[in-house]
C-alpha cells in the first residue's frame, strides 16, 4: 500500500508540475494573449509561407507596437477563441467579430474597425438567384458568426433549413459539392474567397450591415481596450489603417493571392503540396506525437492505479475505481476537452494552457480505458493462483506482485499498444481547443489552397505510417513476451 500511495502522489505531483509551471510563466508575463480565427481571409489566414497574416493580425500587431504593449496572437478558431475569452484563458479576441446587442451583454467592444454586410453565395452553376429560391432547401452557415445569425433570422420567412460548420472552408465546400445550395458569410470574406478561386458566386447585395470590433470580457482588460482604441484612431488619422486594409482587399493584392494559389510550383500537385508544406506538416505531426507520448504516459500511470484499486479487497476503493472508469469512459472526448479548457477555468479562475488541458484530457479519458483493461487483465488470471499463493503463506501484496501481475501483464500488453494507437488518433479532437496538431494543420493549409482531397490524403497517409509502425512494434513486443 505504501508503494500504491507513492505512485498516486507521483501522479498528482506530475500533473501539478506540468500545470503550475506553465501557469506561473503566464502570470509572470504581462504580454496580452489575443485569440483569433484560423481560416477567415482576408482578416486572418496562413499565407504561402504558413505565416499568419490578414487585416486583423496586422492591425493588432501595429497598434501594439505603436502603443507600447506586447501581444501573443493565438490562432484558435472562432468558437474556441470566444470560449477561451469567456473562461479567462485569453485577454481578447480579434477575429472579424461582429458587434451585436447580444454580444455586448457579455463583451466590451472597441470602436468599430471595419464595416461589413451579409451576403449569400451559391455554386457557379446554380439557378438560385434570391432568398425566395431557398424554400425547402439546405443552407450552410458558420457557427457563431453574425452572418449565421442573420441567416437564421430569415430562415422561417423563406422556408430553408441550415447546417453549421466550424470554419469557412468546409462551409464553402459543402455548397460547391452540392450538399447545400447556398451559404451566408460576411461580404468582404466571401468576396475575397470568390476572387481567389473559390467556385462560388455571390447573388445578393450586402444586407443588414454591421461592424467588426475587438472584444474583451465585460468589465475586464479596460486598459487594453483603451490602448486599442487610441491606436486605431492614430492609424486612421495617419493613413496606416487604409494601407493595411488595401494590402488585403485591393484588386492587386487579391490577384497576387490568387496567383499564389494557382501557382503550379506551389500547391496544385501532391509533390508541390508536400514541398510547400513539409515543415508545417512535420511540426503538426511532432505536436501529435508529443501529445500522444505524454498523454499515454500519464494515462498509463492513472490506469494502473485505478485498475489495481478495482481489484483490491476494499469495497470503497473498488467503488471509487468503478466510478472513475464509468465517468471518464462515458464522457465524449470533445466534451471533456472543452470542459477542462473552458469550464474549469470559468469555475476556478485559473488559466489552463491548451497543451496542458489536452494532456489532462487524454490522461483522464485514455486512463479510464487503461484502468478498465488493467482491472480486466488481473481478473482474467485464474482465482486459484491467488489462493495457491496465499496458502503458501505469501501476503496479499506479495502474491499480487509475484504471482498475479506477471501473468496479467502478458494479457494486458496488446491492449496497452492498442491504447497507444487510439490515443494517437484521439489527439485530432484536441484541435477544438486550438492545439495545432496534425489535423488542425491540415485545416489551415486547406483554407489557403482549397486542395482538400490532396491535403487530407497526405495527412491520412502520415497517420497510417505512424500507426503501422506502432502495430509492427506491438507484434514484436508480443512475440518477445510470449518467448
What is the spatial distance between Cα 285 and Cα 291, in angstroms, rounded to a whole number? 10
Other Cβ atoms less than 10 A from the Cβ of 242: the count is 11
pLDDT in tens, 298-351: 998 998 889 888 888 788 988 998 899 999 988 888 899 888 888 888 787 777
Closest to 465 in 3D by CA, of 289, 271, 280: 289
Residue 23 has pLDDT above 60, yes or no: no
Residue 103 has pLDDT above 60, yes or no: yes
For 170, the domain range is: 115-211
pTM summary value: 0.69
Task: For the chain, give the percent of residues with pLDDT over 90.
Answer: 28
Claim to verify: residue 365 and residue 319 sit in the same structural domain: yes
Name the one residue in this structure whose C-alpha cell is 457557379. 124
Claim to verify: residue 390 and residue 459 sit in the same structural domain: yes
Most confident option among 20-29, 68-77, 165-174, 227-236: 227-236
Claim to verify: residue 379 and residue 421 sit in the same structural domain: yes
Claim to verify: residue 474 and residue 329 sit in the same structural domain: yes
User: Residue 449's pLDDT is what?
Assistant: 65
User: Residue 274's pLDDT is what?
Assistant: 77
Residue 104 has pLDDT above 70, yes or no: yes
Q: What's the average model confidence in pLDDT over 89-115?
A: 91
- Whether residue 6 lies inside any domain: the answer is no
What is the spatial distance between Cα 225 and Cα 453, in angstroms, rounded to a whole number? 42
In this predicted structure, which of 195-199, 225-229, 273-277 has the lowest mean pLDDT?
Answer: 273-277
Residue 418 has pLDDT above 90, yes or no: no
Q: Three-class SS of residue 166? A: coil
| 193 close to 172: Cβ distance less than 8 angstroms | yes
- Provide the 8-state DSSP code for 36: E
Claim to verify: residue 334 and residue 187 sit in the same structural domain: no
Residues whose CB is less than 8 angstroms from the CB of residue 103 and which lie 6 or more positions away in sequence, other chains included: 97, 109, 215
pLDDT band at 481; cut points 50, 70, 90: low
Q: What's the average model confidence in pLDDT over 125-151?
A: 90
Q: What's the average model confidence in pLDDT over 290-304?
A: 90
Q: Residue 205's domain is classified under what CATH number?
A: 3.40.190.10
Q: Residue 369's domain is classified under what CATH number?
A: 1.10.3720.10
pLDDT in tens, 31-45: 899 999 877 888 988
pLDDT band at 404; cut points 50, 70, 90: confident
Residue 398 has pLDDT above 80, yes or no: no
Q: What's the average model confidence in pLDDT over 109-113?
A: 94
- Whether residue 315 lies inside any domain: the answer is yes
Q: What's the average model confidence in pLDDT over 434-458?
A: 78
User: Residue 346's pLDDT is what?
Assistant: 77
Residues whose CB is less than 8 angstroms from the CB of residue 362 and which lie 6 or more positions away in sequence, other chains included: 291, 292, 294, 295, 296, 298, 299, 423, 426, 427, 430
Claim to verify: residue 306 and residue 221 sit in the same structural domain: no
User: Residue 413's pLDDT is what?
Assistant: 74
What is the spatial distance between Cα 432 and Cα 435, in angstroms, rounded to a whole number? 7
Claim to verify: residue 369 and residue 475 sit in the same structural domain: yes
Domains: count for the chain: 3
Retrieve residue 277's grid coordinates: 508544406
Most confident option among 64-73, 277-286, 312-321: 64-73
| 108 strand-pairing partners | 216
Cite the DSSP H helix spans in 310-404. 315-330, 333-338, 344-348, 354-380, 383-391, 396-399
- Whether residue 21 lies inside any domain: the answer is no
Q: What's the average model confidence in pLDDT over 159-165?
A: 92
Claim to verify: residue 62 and residue 48 sit in the same structural domain: yes
User: Residue 14's pLDDT is what?
Assistant: 54
Residues whose CB is less than 8 angstroms from the CB of residue 334 and which lie 6 or more positions away in sequence, other chains included: 429, 432
- Provide the 8-state DSSP code for 208: E
User: Residue 261's pLDDT is what?
Assistant: 53
On the CB side of 187, how many CA atoms lie within 13 Å of its CA? 15
Peptide bond into 42 cis (omega under 30): yes
More confident residue, 286 or 29: 286
Q: Which of 262, 287, 321 is the last residue of a domain?
A: 262
Claim to verify: residue 92 and residue 196 sit in the same structural domain: no
Averaged pLDDT score across all residues of the chain: 82
Q: Three-class SS of residue 72? A: strand
More confident residue, 107 or 27: 107
pLDDT in tens, 204-256: 988 877 889 999 999 999 999 999 999 999 999 999 999 998 888 775 555 55
What is the spatial distance between Cα 111 and Cα 109, in angstroms, rounded to a whole number? 7
User: Residue 483's pLDDT is what?
Assistant: 64
Residue 11 has pLDDT above 60, yes or no: no
Claim to verify: residue 396 and residue 328 sit in the same structural domain: yes
User: Residue 181's pLDDT is what?
Assistant: 94
More confident residue, 480 or 58: 58
Claim to verify: residue 179 and residue 292 sit in the same structural domain: no
Claim to verify: residue 84 and residue 190 sit in the same structural domain: no
User: Residue 27's pLDDT is what?
Assistant: 38
Amino acid at each position: 500500500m505504501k508503494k500504491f500511495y507513492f505512485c498516486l502522489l507521483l501522479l498528482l505531483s506530475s500533473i501539478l508540475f506540468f500545470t503550475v509551471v506553465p501557469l506561473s510563466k503566464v502570470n509572470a508575463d504581462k504580454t496580452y494573449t489575443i485569440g483569433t480565427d484560423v481560416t477567415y481571409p482576408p482578416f486572418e489566414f496562413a499565407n504561402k509561407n504558413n505565416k499568419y497574416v490578414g487585416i486583423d493580425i496586422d492591425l493588432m500587431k501595429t497598434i501594439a507596437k505603436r502603443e507600447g504593449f506586447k501581444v501573443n496572437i493565438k490562432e484558435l478558431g472562432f468558437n474556441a477563441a470566444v470560449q477561451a475569452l469567456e473562461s479567462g484563458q485569453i485577454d481578447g479576441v480579434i477575429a472579424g467579430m461582429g458587434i451585436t446587442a447580444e454580444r455586448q451583454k457579455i463583451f466590451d467592444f472597441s470602436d468599430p474597425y471595419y464595416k461589413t454586410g451579409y451576403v449569400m453565395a451559391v455554386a457557379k452553376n446554380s439557378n438560385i438567384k434570391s432568398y425566395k429560391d431557398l424554400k425547402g432547401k439546405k443552407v450552410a452557415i458558420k457557427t457563431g458568426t453574425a452572418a449565421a445569425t442573420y441567416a437564421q433570422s430569415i430562415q422561417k420567412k423563406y422556408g430553408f433549413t441550415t447546417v453549421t460548420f466550424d470554419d469557412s472552408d468546409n462551409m464553402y465546400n459543402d455548397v460547391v459539392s452540392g450538399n447545400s445550395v447556398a451559404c451566408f458569410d460576411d461580404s468582404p470574406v466571401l468576396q475575397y474567397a470568390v476572387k481567389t478561386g473559390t467556385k462560388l458566386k455571390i447573388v445578393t447585395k450586402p444586407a443588414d450591415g454591421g461592424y467588426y470590433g475587438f472584444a474583451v470580457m465585460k468589465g475586464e482588460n479596460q486598459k487594453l481596450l483603451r490602448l486599442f482604441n487610441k491606436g486605431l484612431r492614430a492609424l486612421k488619422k495617419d493613413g496606416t489603417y487604409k494601407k493595411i486594409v488595401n494590402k488585403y482587399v485591393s484588386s492587386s493584392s487579391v490577384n497576387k493571392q490568387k496567383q499564389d494559389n494557382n501557382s503550379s510550383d506551389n500547391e496544385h500537385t501532391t509533390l508541390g503540396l508536400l514541398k510547400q508544406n513539409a515543415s508545417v506538416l512535420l511540426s503538426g505531426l511532432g505536436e501529435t506525437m508529443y501529445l500522444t507520448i505524454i498523454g499515454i504516459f500519464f494515462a498509463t500511470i492513472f490506469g494502473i492505479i485505478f485498475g489495481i484499486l478495482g481489484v483490491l479487497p476494499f469495497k470503497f476503493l473498488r467503488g471509487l475505481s468503478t466510478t472513475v472508469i464509468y465517468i471518464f469512459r462515458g464522457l465524449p472526448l470533445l466534451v471533456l476537452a472543452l470542459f477542462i479548457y473552458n469550464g474549469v477555468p470559468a469555475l476556478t479562475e485559473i488559466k489552463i494552457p491548451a497543451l496542458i488541458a489536452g494532456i489532462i484530457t487524454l490522461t483522464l479519458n485514455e486512463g479510464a480505458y487503461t484502468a478498465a483493461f488493467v482491472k480486466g487483465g488481473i481478473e482474467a488470471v485464474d482465482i486459484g493462483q491467488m489462493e495457491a499463493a496465499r496458502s503458501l503463506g505469501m501476503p496479499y501484496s506479495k502474491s499480487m506482485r509475484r504471482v498475479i501481475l506477471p501473468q496479467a501483464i502478458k494479457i494486458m500488453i496488446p491492449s496497452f499498444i492498442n491504447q497507444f494507437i487510439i490515443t494517437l488518433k484521439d489527439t485530432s479532437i484536441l484541435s477544438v481547443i486550438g492545439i495545432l496538431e496534425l489535423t488542425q494543420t491540415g485545416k489551415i493549409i486547406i483554407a489557403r489552397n482549397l486542395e482538400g482531397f490532396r491535403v487530407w490524403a497526405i495527412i491520412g497517409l502520415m497517420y497510417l505510417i505512424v500507426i503501422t509502425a506502432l502495430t509492427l512494434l506491438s507484434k514484436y513486443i508480443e512475440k518477445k513476451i510470449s518467448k
